Amino acid sequence: MPQLAGEWILAEDIAPVRYIAKSATETVSASTTMQNDDDFLLVPLAANKTYRVEVRLSCQATAVNANIKTQFVLAGGAAQKAARHVMASEVATTSTAATLMTLPVSNVTGVVTSGITNGTSGVTVHYEFLLETTTSGTAGTFTMQWAQGTATGTTSLTPSSYMIITEVEAV
């Protein structure tokens, strides 16, 4: 709620910024079947709110030309407010020095595949999108699902992966 000059700002007037970090390395081996992420699941969204979501994934793989595919599952009153903006290495990435990037825009619930270099340095995949619960007036949740784009070797998300959820006021 906007504050006017001279009004007291109460704790309940300040929307918290939520930060969720991966608690441990999570690995998928030779599987293209989407699975819920261990840490980014059933993230609660209050009713009648709009949220900006930023996700940074630190990805590693053991196979050359490895890739990761992701999607978000919305439940309850959660709905997509704006498309998902993705910044990631192209699918054919083979070097940690690769500069070929993809910048696709897609539905939040659509599958996006990004390249990963093999080795311990890995790559970062960045997502940004808006969600809302204002259209239905009920609370909701969202979950990130992921798998390998091609079932080869192992693909891991490290504890350097995180999500930031910020409540924003639509005007």
Q: What is the pLDDT of residues 129-140, one digit of tens each?
A: 889 898 888 999
**Predicted structure pTM score:** 0.85
What is the CATH classification number for the domain harbouring 67? 2.60.120
Residue 152 lies inside a defined structural domain of this protein: yes
- Radius of gyration (Cα) for the chain, nearest Å? 18
* Domain that includes residue 63, residue range: 26-168
**What pLDDT is stored for residue 126 in this prediction?**
85
List, in order, residues 6 or more apart from 9 with CB less than 8 Å away: 3
How many domains does the structure of the chain reveal? 1
The answer to whether residue 7 sits within a structural domain is no
Confidence bin at 118 (pLDDT 50/70/90):
low
The closest of 30, 169, 141 to 75, measured between CA atoms, is 141
Residue 157 lies in a domain: yes
Does 93 map to a domain? yes
Q: Tell me, what amino acid is at 64?
A: V
